[in-house]
Protein backbone atom coordinates (compact mmCIF):
# COMPACT_ATOMS: atom_id res chain seq x y z
CA UNK A 1 0.00 0.00 0.00
CA UNK A 2 1.34 3.43 -0.96
CA UNK A 3 1.63 5.69 2.07
CA UNK A 4 1.92 9.50 2.04
CA UNK A 5 2.65 10.48 5.65
CA UNK A 6 2.72 14.00 6.99
CA UNK A 7 5.96 15.90 6.56
CA UNK A 8 7.03 15.82 10.17
CA UNK A 9 9.83 14.83 12.43
CA UNK A 10 9.45 13.20 15.84
CA UNK A 11 10.91 15.13 18.76
CA UNK A 12 10.22 13.79 22.24
CA UNK A 13 6.82 12.41 21.30
CA UNK A 14 5.79 15.59 19.51
CA UNK A 15 5.22 15.81 15.79
CA UNK A 16 6.66 18.95 14.29
CA UNK A 17 7.53 20.34 10.92
CA UNK A 18 11.22 21.01 10.56
CA UNK A 19 11.60 24.78 10.76
CA UNK A 20 14.50 26.78 9.48
CA UNK A 21 16.44 28.34 12.31
CA UNK A 22 16.76 32.08 12.54
CA UNK A 23 18.61 34.50 14.68
CA UNK A 24 16.91 35.78 17.76
CA UNK A 25 16.29 39.42 18.67
CA UNK A 26 16.47 38.99 22.45
CA UNK A 27 20.16 39.37 23.46
CA UNK A 28 20.06 36.44 25.88
CA UNK A 29 17.53 34.01 24.41
CA UNK A 30 18.55 30.77 22.76
CA UNK A 31 15.24 29.50 21.40
CA UNK A 32 14.60 29.73 17.67
CA UNK A 33 11.93 28.56 15.28
CA UNK A 34 8.41 29.57 14.37
CA UNK A 35 6.05 30.51 17.15
CA UNK A 36 2.62 28.94 17.35
CA UNK A 37 1.05 32.28 16.45
CA UNK A 38 3.12 32.34 13.27
CA UNK A 39 2.01 28.80 12.50
CA UNK A 40 -1.61 29.81 13.08
CA UNK A 41 -1.20 32.76 10.73
CA UNK A 42 0.14 30.46 8.02
CA UNK A 43 -2.77 28.03 8.32
CA UNK A 44 -6.26 28.40 6.92
CA UNK A 45 -7.67 26.65 9.98
CA UNK A 46 -6.36 25.28 13.27
CA UNK A 47 -8.25 22.75 15.40
CA UNK A 48 -7.72 20.94 18.67
CA UNK A 49 -8.92 17.37 19.07
CA UNK A 50 -8.08 13.74 18.40
CA UNK A 51 -7.43 11.43 15.47
CA UNK A 52 -9.17 8.10 15.18
CA UNK A 53 -10.38 5.51 12.70
CA UNK A 54 -7.24 5.41 10.57
CA UNK A 55 -8.12 3.34 7.52
CA UNK A 56 -7.63 2.73 3.83
CA UNK A 57 -10.18 3.91 1.30
CA UNK A 58 -9.70 3.14 -2.40
CA UNK A 59 -6.04 2.41 -1.79
CA UNK A 60 -5.42 5.69 0.03
CA UNK A 61 -5.03 6.57 3.71
CA UNK A 62 -7.74 8.52 5.50
CA UNK A 63 -8.27 9.42 9.14
CA UNK A 64 -11.03 11.11 11.10
CA UNK A 65 -10.35 14.15 13.27
CA UNK A 66 -12.68 14.75 16.21
CA UNK A 67 -12.89 18.53 16.71
CA UNK A 68 -13.03 19.55 20.37
CA UNK A 69 -12.29 23.23 19.87
CA UNK A 70 -11.36 25.58 17.05
CA UNK A 71 -8.44 27.98 17.35
CA UNK A 72 -8.77 29.42 13.85
CA UNK A 73 -12.00 28.85 12.01
CA UNK A 74 -12.89 28.42 8.34
CA UNK A 75 -16.11 27.88 6.46
CA UNK A 76 -14.99 24.35 5.59
CA UNK A 77 -15.23 23.27 9.25
CA UNK A 78 -18.10 25.48 10.38
CA UNK A 79 -20.47 23.61 12.74
CA UNK A 80 -18.57 20.36 12.18
CA UNK A 81 -17.52 17.99 14.96
CA UNK A 82 -15.71 15.45 12.77
CA UNK A 83 -13.81 15.84 9.52
CA UNK A 84 -12.14 13.18 7.38
CA UNK A 85 -8.63 13.88 6.17
CA UNK A 86 -6.63 12.15 3.46
CA UNK A 87 -3.55 11.51 5.55
CA UNK A 88 -1.75 8.78 7.41
CA UNK A 89 -1.08 9.67 11.02
CA UNK A 90 1.01 7.48 13.27
CA UNK A 91 0.19 6.82 16.91
CA UNK A 92 -3.51 7.47 16.57
CA UNK A 93 -5.20 6.93 19.94
CA UNK A 94 -8.36 8.06 21.66
CA UNK A 95 -6.48 9.40 24.70
CA UNK A 96 -4.20 11.63 22.64
CA UNK A 97 -4.82 15.25 21.74
CA UNK A 98 -3.47 17.16 18.78
CA UNK A 99 -3.26 20.60 17.28
CA UNK A 100 -4.11 20.20 13.61
CA UNK A 101 -2.92 22.81 11.13
CA UNK A 102 -4.73 22.68 7.80
CA UNK A 103 -4.96 24.54 4.54
CA UNK A 104 -7.41 24.38 1.66
CA UNK A 105 -6.03 22.70 -1.44
CA UNK A 106 -8.16 22.19 -4.54
CA UNK A 107 -11.30 22.54 -2.51
CA UNK A 108 -10.28 19.99 0.12
CA UNK A 109 -8.95 20.29 3.66
CA UNK A 110 -5.26 19.39 3.68
CA UNK A 111 -3.60 18.54 6.99
CA UNK A 112 0.04 19.61 6.70
CA UNK A 113 1.14 19.64 10.34
CA UNK A 114 0.00 18.06 13.60
CA UNK A 115 1.40 18.54 17.08
CA UNK A 116 0.82 16.00 19.80
CA UNK A 117 0.07 17.56 23.19
CA UNK A 118 -1.10 16.41 26.60
CA UNK A 119 -4.85 15.93 26.96
CA UNK A 120 -4.92 18.41 29.84
CA UNK A 121 -2.46 20.89 28.31
CA UNK A 122 -4.97 23.67 27.70
CA UNK A 123 -3.01 24.62 24.59
CA UNK A 124 -6.16 25.51 22.68
CA UNK A 125 -7.13 27.99 25.38
CA UNK A 126 -3.58 29.35 25.47
CA UNK A 127 -3.61 29.96 21.74
CA UNK A 128 -7.07 31.49 21.79
CA UNK A 129 -5.87 34.01 24.38
CA UNK A 130 -2.57 34.56 22.58
CA UNK A 131 -4.36 35.54 19.38
CA UNK A 132 -5.11 38.94 20.92
CA UNK A 133 -1.34 39.56 20.91
CA UNK A 134 -0.67 38.71 17.26
CA UNK A 135 0.66 42.19 16.52
CA UNK A 136 4.14 42.38 18.07
CA UNK A 137 4.23 46.14 17.67
CA UNK A 138 1.00 46.72 19.60
CA UNK A 139 1.53 47.08 23.35
CA UNK A 140 4.73 44.94 23.28
CA UNK A 141 5.28 45.16 27.05
CA UNK A 142 1.76 43.92 27.81
CA UNK A 143 2.20 41.24 25.19
CA UNK A 144 5.46 39.95 26.68
CA UNK A 145 4.04 40.03 30.18
CA UNK A 146 1.33 37.64 28.96
CA UNK A 147 3.92 35.20 27.62
CA UNK A 148 6.10 35.56 30.72
CA UNK A 149 3.38 33.88 32.76
CA UNK A 150 3.60 30.83 30.49
CA UNK A 151 7.37 30.36 30.57
CA UNK A 152 7.07 27.69 33.26
CA UNK A 153 3.90 26.05 31.93
CA UNK A 154 3.93 22.27 32.52
CA UNK A 155 3.04 21.69 28.85
CA UNK A 156 6.43 21.83 27.04
CA UNK A 157 4.92 23.07 23.80
CA UNK A 158 3.38 26.07 25.58
CA UNK A 159 6.47 26.86 27.65
CA UNK A 160 8.73 26.61 24.60
CA UNK A 161 6.39 28.77 22.55
CA UNK A 162 6.39 31.46 25.24
CA UNK A 163 10.19 31.41 25.16
CA UNK A 164 10.17 31.75 21.37
CA UNK A 165 8.00 34.84 21.71
CA UNK A 166 10.54 36.33 24.11
CA UNK A 167 13.35 35.33 21.76
CA UNK A 168 11.84 37.47 19.01
CA UNK A 169 11.42 40.52 21.25
CA UNK A 170 13.65 43.56 21.00
CA UNK A 171 15.22 44.71 24.25
CA UNK A 172 13.49 48.07 23.92
CA UNK A 173 10.18 46.22 24.17
CA UNK A 174 10.92 44.71 27.57
CA UNK A 175 13.68 46.76 29.21
CA UNK A 176 11.22 48.78 31.27
CA UNK A 177 8.82 45.87 31.78
CA UNK A 178 11.62 43.76 33.26
CA UNK A 179 11.95 46.11 36.24
CA UNK A 180 8.53 45.05 37.49
CA UNK A 181 8.74 41.29 36.92
CA UNK A 182 8.55 38.99 39.97
CA UNK A 183 12.17 38.65 41.07
CA UNK A 184 11.41 35.77 43.45
CA UNK A 185 9.92 33.73 40.62
CA UNK A 186 13.03 34.28 38.49
CA UNK A 187 15.22 33.33 41.46
CA UNK A 188 13.23 30.14 41.89
CA UNK A 189 13.66 29.24 38.23
CA UNK A 190 17.39 29.97 38.30
CA UNK A 191 17.84 27.86 41.44
CA UNK A 192 15.94 24.91 39.99
CA UNK A 193 18.37 22.33 38.51
CA UNK A 194 15.59 21.22 36.17
CA UNK A 195 15.46 24.58 34.42
CA UNK A 196 16.72 24.02 30.83
CA UNK A 197 20.11 25.67 30.20
CA UNK A 198 18.80 27.59 27.19
CA UNK A 199 16.50 29.56 29.54
CA UNK A 200 19.16 30.56 32.05
CA UNK A 201 20.48 33.55 30.12
CA UNK A 202 17.07 35.17 29.77
CA UNK A 203 16.05 34.54 33.38
CA UNK A 204 19.34 35.81 34.79
CA UNK A 205 19.33 38.96 32.68
CA UNK A 206 15.74 39.69 33.73
CA UNK A 207 16.66 39.22 37.38
CA UNK A 208 19.33 41.86 36.86
CA UNK A 209 16.56 44.32 36.08
CA UNK A 210 14.11 43.50 38.87
CA UNK A 211 16.49 42.13 41.51
CA UNK A 212 16.70 45.53 43.16
CA UNK A 213 13.36 44.85 44.77
CA UNK A 214 13.09 43.13 48.16
CA UNK A 215 15.83 40.55 48.81
CA UNK A 216 18.21 42.39 46.47
CA UNK A 217 21.27 41.03 48.31
CA UNK A 218 20.00 37.48 47.84
CA UNK A 219 19.45 38.02 44.12
CA UNK A 220 22.90 39.53 43.68
CA UNK A 221 24.50 36.68 45.61
CA UNK A 222 22.83 34.14 43.34
CA UNK A 223 24.01 35.78 40.12
CA UNK A 224 27.51 36.31 41.53
CA UNK A 225 27.73 32.66 42.47
CA UNK A 226 26.54 31.58 39.04
CA UNK A 227 28.96 33.92 37.27
CA UNK A 228 31.91 32.46 39.16
CA UNK A 229 30.79 28.83 39.03
CA UNK A 230 33.02 26.82 36.64
CA UNK A 231 30.05 24.61 35.79
CA UNK A 232 27.90 27.59 34.82
CA UNK A 233 30.72 29.00 32.74
CA UNK A 234 30.65 25.84 30.66
CA UNK A 235 26.92 25.91 29.89
CA UNK A 236 24.47 28.09 28.01
CA UNK A 237 23.34 31.31 29.61
CA UNK A 238 26.60 32.76 30.87
CA UNK A 239 26.10 35.95 28.85
CA UNK A 240 22.77 36.60 30.57
CA UNK A 241 24.20 35.71 33.99
CA UNK A 242 26.98 38.24 33.55
CA UNK A 243 24.54 40.87 32.29
CA UNK A 244 22.30 40.40 35.30
CA UNK A 245 25.28 40.53 37.66
CA UNK A 246 26.54 43.77 36.11
CA UNK A 247 23.11 45.39 36.21
CA UNK A 248 22.87 44.70 39.94
CA UNK A 249 26.51 45.55 40.73
CA UNK A 250 28.27 47.29 37.82
CA UNK A 251 31.70 47.45 39.46
CA UNK A 252 32.04 43.86 40.68
CA UNK A 253 30.03 42.45 37.79
CA UNK A 254 32.24 44.09 35.18
CA UNK A 255 35.35 42.87 36.99
CA UNK A 256 34.00 39.31 36.78
CA UNK A 257 33.41 39.74 33.05
CA UNK A 258 36.83 41.32 32.51
CA UNK A 259 38.50 38.46 34.37
CA UNK A 260 36.92 36.02 31.92
CA UNK A 261 37.99 38.04 28.88
CA UNK A 262 41.58 38.10 30.14
CA UNK A 263 41.79 34.35 30.79
CA UNK A 264 42.87 32.50 27.62
CA UNK A 265 42.83 29.18 29.48
CA UNK A 266 39.09 29.44 29.97
CA UNK A 267 36.93 27.83 27.30
CA UNK A 268 36.21 29.66 24.09
CA UNK A 269 32.54 29.45 25.02
CA UNK A 270 33.05 31.34 28.28
CA UNK A 271 35.11 34.10 26.68
CA UNK A 272 32.72 34.44 23.76
CA UNK A 273 29.78 34.63 26.18
CA UNK A 274 31.56 37.43 28.04
CA UNK A 275 32.12 39.20 24.73
CA UNK A 276 28.41 38.94 23.90
CA UNK A 277 27.62 40.51 27.25
CA UNK A 278 30.10 43.31 26.56
CA UNK A 279 28.27 44.00 23.28
CA UNK A 280 25.03 44.36 25.20
CA UNK A 281 26.50 47.18 27.30
CA UNK A 282 28.38 48.57 24.31
CA UNK A 283 25.33 48.90 22.07
CA UNK A 284 22.17 48.76 24.19
CA UNK A 285 22.67 49.59 27.88
CA UNK A 286 25.21 52.31 27.31
CA UNK A 287 24.28 53.89 30.65
CA UNK A 288 25.89 51.20 32.82
CA UNK A 289 29.54 50.68 31.76
CA UNK A 290 31.68 53.34 30.12
CA UNK A 291 32.74 52.82 26.53
CA UNK A 292 36.39 53.13 27.58
CA UNK A 293 36.02 50.23 30.01
CA UNK A 294 34.35 48.10 27.38
CA UNK A 295 37.00 48.77 24.74
CA UNK A 296 39.75 48.01 27.23
CA UNK A 297 38.04 44.78 28.19
CA UNK A 298 37.49 43.65 24.61
CA UNK A 299 41.10 44.44 23.70
CA UNK A 300 42.18 41.77 26.18
CA UNK A 301 41.04 39.25 23.56
CA UNK A 302 43.43 40.52 20.90
CA UNK A 303 46.33 38.36 22.11
CA UNK A 304 44.13 35.24 22.09
CA UNK A 305 44.36 33.72 18.63
CA UNK A 306 41.17 31.66 18.88
CA UNK A 307 38.98 34.73 19.38
CA UNK A 308 41.06 37.72 18.26
CA UNK A 309 39.15 38.07 14.99
CA UNK A 310 35.89 38.47 16.94
CA UNK A 311 37.38 41.33 18.93
CA UNK A 312 38.88 43.02 15.85
CA UNK A 313 35.60 42.82 13.97
CA UNK A 314 33.72 44.27 16.94
CA UNK A 315 36.15 47.17 17.17
CA UNK A 316 35.84 47.77 13.42
CA UNK A 317 32.05 47.74 13.53
CA UNK A 318 31.99 50.30 16.35
CA UNK A 319 34.62 52.64 14.88
CA UNK A 320 37.13 52.14 17.67
CA UNK A 321 40.50 53.16 16.22
CA UNK A 322 42.51 53.60 19.42
CA UNK A 323 43.97 50.06 19.29
CA UNK A 324 45.23 50.57 15.70
CA UNK A 325 48.92 49.88 16.37
CA UNK A 326 48.16 46.93 18.62
CA UNK A 327 45.94 45.35 15.98
CA UNK A 328 48.34 45.89 13.07
CA UNK A 329 51.12 44.31 15.13
CA UNK A 330 49.12 41.09 15.36
CA UNK A 331 49.62 40.49 11.64
CA UNK A 332 53.21 39.35 12.18
CA UNK A 333 52.66 37.29 15.35
CA UNK A 334 53.27 33.58 14.64
CA UNK A 335 50.40 32.65 16.96
CA UNK A 336 48.02 34.77 14.85
CA UNK A 337 49.10 33.47 11.45
CA UNK A 338 45.54 32.41 10.67
CA UNK A 339 43.67 33.46 7.54
CA UNK A 340 40.56 34.71 9.33
CA UNK A 341 42.66 36.91 11.64
CA UNK A 342 44.65 38.36 8.73
CA UNK A 343 41.35 39.16 7.02
CA UNK A 344 39.98 40.86 10.15
CA UNK A 345 43.13 42.98 10.48
CA UNK A 346 42.96 44.02 6.83
CA UNK A 347 39.29 44.99 7.17
CA UNK A 348 40.14 47.05 10.24
CA UNK A 349 42.98 48.83 8.41
CA UNK A 350 40.76 49.52 5.40
CA UNK A 351 38.11 51.04 7.64
CA UNK A 352 40.28 53.47 9.61
CA UNK A 353 39.48 57.10 8.62
CA UNK A 354 42.48 59.18 7.56
CA UNK A 355 41.95 61.68 10.35
CA UNK A 356 42.22 58.85 12.89
CA UNK A 357 45.54 57.62 11.45
CA UNK A 358 47.94 60.55 11.89
CA UNK A 359 50.99 58.34 11.28
CA UNK A 360 49.52 56.78 8.15
CA UNK A 361 50.03 53.29 9.60
CA UNK A 362 46.81 51.80 8.26
CA UNK A 363 47.43 53.22 4.79
CA UNK A 364 50.96 51.82 4.72
CA UNK A 365 49.71 48.45 5.91
CA UNK A 366 47.06 48.25 3.18
CA UNK A 367 49.47 49.29 0.44
CA UNK A 368 51.96 46.58 1.42
CA UNK A 369 49.19 44.00 1.34
CA UNK A 370 48.00 45.33 -2.01
CA UNK A 371 51.48 44.93 -3.52
CA UNK A 372 51.62 41.36 -2.27
CA UNK A 373 48.06 40.25 -3.12
CA UNK A 374 45.95 42.88 -4.92
CA UNK A 375 43.03 40.53 -5.52
CA UNK A 376 42.73 39.71 -1.82
CA UNK A 377 42.68 43.39 -0.88
CA UNK A 378 40.18 44.20 -3.63
CA UNK A 379 37.83 41.46 -2.41
CA UNK A 380 37.99 42.84 1.12
CA UNK A 381 37.26 46.35 -0.14
CA UNK A 382 34.29 45.14 -2.19
CA UNK A 383 32.80 43.28 0.77
CA UNK A 384 33.19 46.29 3.04
CA UNK A 385 31.51 48.47 0.45
CA UNK A 386 28.55 46.10 0.23
CA UNK A 387 28.22 45.99 4.01
CA UNK A 388 28.17 49.78 4.23
CA UNK A 389 25.47 49.96 1.54
CA UNK A 390 23.27 47.60 3.54
CA UNK A 391 23.41 49.75 6.65
Structural domain boundaries enclosing 200? 175-298
Q: How many angstroms separate the CA atoms of 19 and 72, rounded?
A: 21
**What CA–CA distance (Å, rounded) separates 198 from 108?**
40
| Distance between CA atoms of residues 271 and 197, nearest Å | 18
Q: Are residues 293 and 345 in the same domain?
A: no
- Residue 243 dihedral angles phi and psi, to the nearest 5°: -65, -45
My answer on whether 198 and 264 are in the same domain is: yes
The residues of the chain scoring below 70 in pLDDT are 1-24, 91, 93-94
Q: What is the pLDDT of residue 233?
A: 79
The pLDDT, as a whole number, for residue 216 is 86
> Would you state the torsion angle of the CA atoms of residues 20, 21, 26, 28, taken in this order, to the nearest 10 degrees?
160
The pLDDT of residue 94 is 66
* Count of domains for the chain: 3
Inside any domain, residue 141: no
| pLDDT tens column, 296-309 | 999 999 999 999 99
Residue 150 domain flag: no
Q: Are residues 309 and 207 in the same domain?
A: no
Q: Are residues 254 and 338 in the same domain?
A: no
Long-range contacts of the stretch 288-292 (C-beta < 8 A, 24+): 288/246, 288/247, 288/250, 289/246, 289/250, 289/254
DSSP per-residue codes, 123-175: HHHHHHHHGGG--TTSSHHHHHHHHHTTTT-SSHHHHHHHHHHHHT--HHHHT
Indicate whether 154 belongs to any domain. no
Judge if 284 and 197 occupy the same domain: yes
- Say if residues 47 and 76 touch (Cβ distance below 8 Å): no
Q: Do 82 and 96 have their domain in common?
A: yes
pLDDT at 85: 93
Query: Which pLDDT value is given to residue 98?
Result: 93
Residue 317 lies in a domain: yes
Same domain (yes/no): 194, 278: yes
Q: What pLDDT sits at residue 232?
A: 79
| Residue 163, domain member (yes or no) | no
Last residue in a domain, options 238, 273, 298 = 298
> For residue 8, what pLDDT is reported?
38
Provide the 3-class DSSP secondary structure of residue 91: coil
Query: In the listed set 269, 298, 327, which residue is the last one of a domain according to the structure?
Result: 298
> Tell me, what's the pLDDT at 2?
33
pLDDT at 307: 98
Q: Is residue 158 part of a domain?
A: no
In a domain, 272, yes or no: yes
The answer to whether the CB of 67 falls within 8 A of the CB of 49 is: yes
Distances (CA, A) of 288 to 6, 104, 292, 299: 51, 53, 12, 19
Query: Between the CA atoms of 191, 195, 199 and 204, what dihedral angle is there, to the nearest 10 degrees?
Result: 0
Same domain, 288 and 386: no
Q: Is pTM, for the whole model, over 0.85?
A: yes
Indicate if 294 and 305 belong to the same structural domain. no
Residue 103's domain is classified under what CATH number?
2.40.50
Instruction: Answer yes or no: do 184 and 261 share one domain.
Output: yes
Residue that terminates a domain, selected from 277, 298, 319? 298
Q: Is 7 left (phi over 0), alpha (psi -120 to 50) or beta?
A: beta
Same domain flag for 342 and 280:
no
Please check whether residues 191 and 283 belong to one and the same domain.
yes
- Domain contains 155: no
Amino acid sequence: MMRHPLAYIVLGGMLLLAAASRSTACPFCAQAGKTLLEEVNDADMVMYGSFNNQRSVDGGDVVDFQIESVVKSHDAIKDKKVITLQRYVRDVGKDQRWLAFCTMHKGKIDLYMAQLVSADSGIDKYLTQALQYQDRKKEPAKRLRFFFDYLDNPEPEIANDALKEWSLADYKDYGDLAKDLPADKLTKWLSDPKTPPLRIGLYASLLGHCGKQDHAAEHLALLKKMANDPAERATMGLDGILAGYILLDPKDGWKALSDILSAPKLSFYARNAALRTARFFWDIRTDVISKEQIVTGVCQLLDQSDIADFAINDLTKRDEWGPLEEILALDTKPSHDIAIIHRAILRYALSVPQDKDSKGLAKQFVEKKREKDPDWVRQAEDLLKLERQRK
